[in-house]
Amino acid sequence: MLIILALLLTLLTATLLLLLRYALQQRQALQAALNEMEQLNPAPGARVTAPEMVLTIKVLNAIEVAKRESRSARIVAPHMPVTVRKMVYKQVMREVGMELSQRGIESEINVEFR
């Protein structure tokens, strides 16, 4: 009976030590996140700038557009949809960039993968 209680006590102690270690790791992670938040917040009295505005365009039917605009896309799209989508985005990026430059609008156009 005494051996069973000793084993049970050892098991509980090991469990407590693991939980304590986990709690300390969580505390360190929380402290690191708080430090990052402090760095993001401006210092008191610092000049705050307006947030930057970004326009996002998502082509909802890229495969259909490619098939409509290109004969080769009709053949390739079922086999290489990711490549066709990339090509559609590159073309949209080119066309939007050309339209903006024709109107005298300076812009920076990027494609983001999410």
pTM: 0.54
pLDDT of residue 43: 67
Place of tokens 């051996």: 3
Q: Quote the DSSP letter at residue 73.
A: H
Helix 81-102 with 62-69: angle, nearest 10 deg: 80
Averaged pLDDT, groups of 10, the chain, 114 residues long: 91 94 95 86 70 88 92 90 92 93 92 80
Place of tokens 């300076």: 106
In the chain, where are the structural domains located? 1-48, 50-114
pLDDT of residue 52: 84
